[in-house]
Chain A
Amino acid sequence: MMRVLGIAGTAKNTGKTTTLLEVLGYLSSLGRRVFVTSIGYDGEDFDNITGLPKPRVFIPEGTLVATALPLIQASSVKFTDLQDTGVRCALGRVFVGRASAGGKVVLAGPTSTRDLLSVMKFAPKMCTVLLDGAFSRLSPMVVAGALILATGAARSPDSHRLAREVEIIGKIMSLPVHGFFASGSSPGGDPGSAGRTINVEGGLFLKGQGKELGWRLIADGPGQTVVYVRGIVNPAVFDETLSELEGYRRDPVVFVISHPILMLLSGDVLAWEDVLCRAEEMGFVVAVGSSSELLGVTINPYRPSYESATGRFVATYLPPRTFLDDIRNLTSVPCTDIILEGPEKLRSWLHRYVEKQNS
């Protein structure tokens, strides 16, 4: 069966490419067929913004690659079985090809979820699809069954803040999956024992939308209600709902958000710490329709630093061991620094993931 594994980042330069290379190498060593693409642009010699050198993307022989045609043509790798996916990205039409030998490639694939799904139709049924992230982009990762997150000093040099982010992301990715929504049935029908339902189409990410939902829930009267939210949810807007309900409603409410990643796209992710606690204290349940398993987090002490005197970026590093330990000690999510600790921990996450899938 096809498995989709995403390598997402919390920011640019957090180590996605390094992680991707390890994952690619490991899966290939297991003899797995790998289909790789990027939701952005990766494998270039120098960073598009900082101008600093970047890790190149080396693909093993036999890897299926989905990337823009001009990059296939410019690659030193010879590709066979080329197929036009019909998807167009900013650099041209996305083609899928099989690497006839190992070598360097630049990845530039579908950038939207819709296009990603179209391109993934070209992946064989029995393979692992590797999605290479870009910047802090997460949205297309909703199609991934599992995620590895890359974060580090480029996101913030404050290890305490990073640990809090990792922890809350881990918590959000672990929210319970609400079966009814996940089953694909149309919410809004009879939820059975769940009581009444309210459907919120288009998400909760604009100021005032949360307040409006609160009023609807108050007007709904007593009894259990399930609120299905399709779309992006901003913690501050969600908190508006809680504030409206404060003192007015104590009946159980189950908020079902279609995917946890939709809780990470708007607003300050750390705000969810208080918002989820508050919901829990009020006796409400926050669940998700479907989810992606967070396998672990890779930590990168690298940080491009702008030198105003020269007008250039220079590479700087926080002390790797201290930085990693500070984060690890404050979160329950598995963390590793691949360069510092080697790839073993990452491989153990992948091993568990593969075993689980096989079982």
Chain B
Amino acid sequence: MKCKSDFPNSRPERKKIVLAPLDPVHDVGLKLIRRKLVERGHEVTLLPPDLSPEEVVARAKALEPDFLMVSRAISYGTSELLAKFVDLCDASGLRERTKIAAGGLSMRPEMAQELGFDAGFGPDTPPEAAVAYVEGREAQAVECERPMSKVDLTAGFSYEFRDKEIGDLCLRIARQLVNWAQDKTSPGVERARLRLDMEEARAAGDEKAASEIREKYAGLCGGEVERWYRTGEPVAHTRLLSDREIEEISRLKEGGHSGDYPRSQDILARYNVFIQYGTGCPVMDAYHINLSLAFGARGVIHFDPSWGARTEGLLEGAWSHQHDGTVLTLDNLRLIKNALLPGTMWQVRAHRGLNTPETVILAHLAGADLTKINIVYGSLGAGTDPARLAVDGIESMRLAARFGLPYDVVTNEELCGVPAKKAFAGMLIVATAGVLLGGRPILQPLFANSPEAIIAGLTEDNFIDFNAAKMEVLREIIDAPIWPGAPVGFLTQSQDRCQSSTMTALHAALALKIGAQAVTIASSDEAYAGGPITAPARVDTLKTTAAALRFFGSAGISPSRKAKDIAQELRQGILDVLKAVAERGDFVASLYEGLLGDKEDGAYPGRAGRDTVKVK
């Protein structure tokens, strides 16, 4: 149950309340409630904790209160004690005028009802809910506080370089990149245009035109996707969703929300925490999304299958996929969009493969709020040819700017072993190109125990300094939003759910406490799932993240002196990399030649889409 923390201004009718701990060690909650009730002007008597149920009933009867509220931790045996207590209240005549309520660990409304209480308050209930109950304001008090409006993560940022030296280099390289791409095209770029035309024709009811465009589109596809367009034979490990499954997603939205949310949502509502989904099945995704939103996630990120990045062309229709990654189609996206609650920020990632521009189109058509584009990671860590992704990436950023879609620029190539200085240089170049194209990029440094950190001993003592240094250096360089991910905590989590959740939560808390605009978290089994990600594992990390944020509160986290040293060294490293790329005078060649990550680092220029770039 959730409750507004601010009370109405008018003074309530004065009520008489008796509070009774039925458990000697569990009267803290009652004392807190007493304080809140007294502040509201009610007459409150807190009974001592060592009374028998009979004595509590006798004392309450003598006081003739409007409410008797008891607290007791529930277990198999103690629940009978509470049921007995309810009988005593009833048979003594106390309930003729007194409402009885119970609170304590494990208490839920269903349990309160089963035991016979008029109301029940569990550990997730704020004391204000008990006060609201006393004042007869349940309807107003039990009110969903899940944020109903979206946040523009880029609002208020000028994208001006604070570090002129680095800024000038980024601008120089980015301009070269944009100019280089200007006269080039690719099947990915062409398909994106056809997709937009096709969907516009469909929307206008011009099926003939749509069909003709579709034929052209199919001619630009490859592999199993082309086969599907030609023969209708499904891509391996996929099947069309049934009508029943499609209906189930709609029903989830219609009836799935009581408005009662866990306590963790109160805390997470103040932050922008994103989770990643992509179970393969849109129905399951819808459940995972709803569960995550209930536990406080503000945003969700669509993950598609890895083969989708390596295959020319995207399918049409509502598909289920047997393995990880939910097939990227407009129908699937629209189904998922239908399951989102108001205020949910939705990112459809487009950063790494042969369908990047078209994915931005689909994100726009489906109503997504954000996308994800990065030329460097996609080229060096995700298998796409650098020239191809440079052309497609520039077109994607152009489209994102046209549709008003902000996008993050990831640095996940760090996971391959690329040092942060190179990854950040690449991210800054791409982000600068994005700004030049009129877009609103969001920097996405990796918060992780990266191979570089492990080898250089940067995280030997703690995981704070290295990550805090990344934030600091980026803020010193440019006035841009920062969204660590994706997700945070890579290579710090183990298969132990407690350990994994804790690491995720602490990384998320660190990012948010030192000023990140958003953060992406994994589920507790994501790194070691060995199978589908489970719903409880999502709850693990959302609740742990809420707990960590509650723990730090406004006290914040202070990195050690070492963070400054790392930041300085990182800044110098970024500068050196940018100088080398600028000197090379060709961004795409720099990718092939390893200036932004080489084989020694673990980065390999991708081969998917090689030799597909054409001059217009």
Contact of B90 with A112 in the complex, beta carbons under 8 Å:
yes
* Chain B neighbourhood of A140, CB < 8 A: 90
Q: Give the CA-CA distance A49 to B86 in the complex, in Å.
A: 18
Convert A90-120 into 0s and 1s, putting 1 for each residue whose CB lies closer than 8 angstroms to a CB of B. Answer: 1100000000000000001001111000000
Q: Does B111 sit at the interface, judged by CB under 8 A?
A: yes
Contact of B86 with A41 in the complex, beta carbons under 8 Å:
no
* Chain B neighbourhood of A206, CB < 8 A: 54-55, 58
Q: Does A77 sit at the interface, judged by CB under 8 A?
A: no
Contact of A266 with B80 in the complex, beta carbons under 8 Å:
no
Convert B67-105 into 0s and 1s, putting 1 for each residue whose CB lies closer than 8 angstroms to a CB of A. Answer: 000000011100110011011111111011000000000
Contact of B118 with A44 in the complex, beta carbons under 8 Å:
no
* Chain A neighbourhood of B115, CB < 8 A: 40, 134-135, 137
Which of A42, A111, A203 contacts B86 (CB under 8 A)? A111
Interface residues of A in 136-162 (CB under 8 A from B): 136-140, 142
Which of A39, A88, A135, A142 contacts B118 (CB under 8 A)? A88
Q: Give the CA-CA distance A294 to B405 in the complex, in Å.
A: 72
Nearest-neighbour CB distance to chain A for B79, whole angstroms, equals: 6
Convert B104-135 into 0s and 1s, putting 1 for each residue whose CB lies closer than 8 angstroms to a CB of A. Answer: 00101111111111111000000000000000
Which of A41, A114, A136, A138 contacts B113 (CB under 8 A)? A41
Q: Does A253 sit at the interface, judged by CB under 8 A?
A: no
* Chain A neighbourhood of B54, CB < 8 A: 205-206, 232, 234, 266
Q: Give the CA-CA distance A236 to B432 in the complex, in Å.
A: 84
Contact of B116 with A134 in the complex, beta carbons under 8 Å:
yes
* Chain A neighbourhood of B108, CB < 8 A: 48
Q: Give the CA-CA distance A35 to B119 in the complex, in Å.
A: 25
Q: Does A304 sit at the interface, judged by CB under 8 A?
A: yes
Q: Does A252 sit at the interface, judged by CB under 8 A?
A: no
Closest to B58 in A: A206
Q: Does A224 sit at the interface, judged by CB under 8 A?
A: no
Known: A90-B119, A206-B55. A139 touches B86 (CB 8 A): yes
Q: Does B579 sit at the interface, judged by CB under 8 A?
A: no
* Chain A neighbourhood of B76, CB < 8 A: 12, 49-50, 304, 306, 313
Secondary structure type dominating chain A contacts: loop
CB contacts between A and B, total, < 8 Å: 122
Q: Give the CA-CA distance A142 to B83 in the complex, in Å.
A: 16
* Chain A neighbourhood of B92, CB < 8 A: 202-203, 205, 231-232
Which of A42, A90, A203, A313 contacts B117 (CB under 8 A)? A90
Contact of B80 with A111 in the complex, beta carbons under 8 Å:
no
Convert A231-271 into 0s and 1s, putting 1 for each residue whose CB lies closer than 8 angstroms to a CB of B. Answer: 11010000000000000000000000000011001100000
Known: A50-B76, A135-B79. A90 touches B91 (CB 8 A): no
Contact of A41 with B79 in the complex, beta carbons under 8 Å:
no
Contact of B110 with A265 in the complex, beta carbons under 8 Å:
no
* Chain A neighbourhood of B564, CB < 8 A: none
Contact of B113 with A135 in the complex, beta carbons under 8 Å:
no
Q: Does A89 sit at the interface, judged by CB under 8 A?
A: yes
Convert A284-313 into 0s and 1s, putting 1 for each residue whose CB lies closer than 8 angstroms to a CB of B. Answer: 000000000000000000001010000001
Known: A50-B76, A90-B113, A304-B76. A114 touches B86 (CB 8 A): no
Q: Give the CA-CA distance A40 to B84 in the complex, in Å.
A: 13
* Chain A neighbourhood of B91, CB < 8 A: 113, 139, 142, 203, 231-232, 261-262, 265
Q: Give the CA-CA distance A49 to B206 in the complex, in Å.
A: 59
Contact of A134 with B117 in the complex, beta carbons under 8 Å:
no
Which of A12, A112, A113, A265 contacts B80 (CB under 8 A)? A12
Interface residues of A in 31-85 (CB under 8 A from B): 39-42, 44, 48-50, 68
Q: Does A177 sit at the interface, judged by CB under 8 A?
A: no
Secondary structure type dominating chain B contacts: helix
Q: Does B61 sit at the interface, judged by CB under 8 A?
A: yes
Nearest-neighbour CB distance to chain A for B192, whole angstroms, equals: 45
* Chain B neighbourhood of A265, CB < 8 A: 84, 87-88, 91
Q: Give the CA-CA distance A262 to B90 in the complex, in Å.
A: 10
Contact of A266 with B88 in the complex, beta carbons under 8 Å:
yes
Q: Does A172 sit at the interface, judged by CB under 8 A?
A: no
Interface size class of A (residues with CB under 8 A): 35 or more
Contact of A48 with B111 in the complex, beta carbons under 8 Å:
yes
Q: Does A11 sit at the interface, judged by CB under 8 A?
A: yes
Closest to B108 in A: A48
* Chain A neighbourhood of B83, CB < 8 A: 12, 134-137
* Chain B neighbourhood of A114, CB < 8 A: 95-96
* Chain B neighbourhood of A306, CB < 8 A: 76
Which of A42, A137, A231, A313 contacts B116 (CB under 8 A)? A137
Residue in B80, B83, B86, B114 whose Cβ sees the most chain A Cβ within 10 Å: B114
Interface residues of B in 508-548 (CB under 8 A from A): none
Contact of B118 with A111 in the complex, beta carbons under 8 Å:
yes
Convert A168-208 into 0s and 1s, putting 1 for each residue whose CB lies closer than 8 angstroms to a CB of B. Answer: 00000000000000000000000000000000001101100
Closest to B76 in A: A49
* Chain B neighbourhood of A266, CB < 8 A: 54, 84, 88
Nearest-neighbour CB distance to chain B for A252, whole angstroms, equals: 28
Nearest-neighbour CB distance to chain A for B90, whole angstroms, equals: 4
Interface residues of B in 120-174 (CB under 8 A from A): 120
* Chain B neighbourhood of A234, CB < 8 A: 54
Q: Give the CA-CA distance A39 to B90 in the complex, in Å.
A: 12
Q: Give the CA-CA distance A145 to B61 in the complex, in Å.
A: 28
* Chain B neighbourhood of A111, CB < 8 A: 86, 90, 113, 116-118
* Chain B neighbourhood of A137, CB < 8 A: 83-84, 86-87, 115-116
Known: A112-B95, A136-B80, A232-B92. A44 touches B110 (CB 8 A): yes
Closest to A266 in B: B54
Q: Give the CA-CA distance A90 to B113 in the complex, in Å.
A: 5
Residue in A68, A111, A203 whose Cβ sees the most chain B Cβ within 10 Å: A111
* Chain A neighbourhood of B96, CB < 8 A: 114
* Chain B neighbourhood of A40, CB < 8 A: 113-116
Which of A39, A90, A135, A138 contacts B120 (CB under 8 A)? A90
Q: Give the CA-CA distance A111 to B61 in the complex, in Å.
A: 19
Q: Give the CA-CA distance A265 to B106 in the complex, in Å.
A: 25
Closest to B94 in A: A112
Q: Give the CA-CA distance A42 to B114 in the complex, in Å.
A: 8
Which of A135, A205, A261, A313 contacts B88 (CB under 8 A)? A205
Contact of B113 with A49 in the complex, beta carbons under 8 Å:
no
* Chain A neighbourhood of B113, CB < 8 A: 40-41, 68, 89-91, 108, 111
Interface residues of B in 535-576 (CB under 8 A from A): none
A-B contacts besides A135-B114, A205-B88, 15 pairs, CB < 8 Å = A40-B113, A40-B116, A48-B108, A48-B114, A88-B118, A112-B95, A135-B116, A206-B58, A231-B91, A232-B54, A262-B91, A265-B87, A265-B91, A266-B54, A306-B76
Give me the 5 closest cross-chain CB pairs, A-B, nearest first. Answer: A135-B83, A41-B114, A111-B116, A139-B87, A139-B90
- Which residue numbers of A lie inside 8 Å of B, CB to CB? 11-12, 39-42, 44, 48-50, 68, 88-91, 108, 111-114, 134-140, 142, 202-203, 205-206, 231-232, 234, 261-262, 265-266, 304, 306, 313
- Can you list 25 pairs linking A and B with CB atoms under 8 Å apart? A12-B83, A39-B116, A41-B114, A42-B114, A49-B106, A88-B118, A90-B113, A90-B117, A91-B109, A108-B113, A111-B86, A112-B116, A113-B90, A134-B114, A134-B116, A135-B115, A137-B83, A137-B115, A139-B90, A139-B91, A202-B61, A203-B91, A205-B54, A205-B88, A266-B88
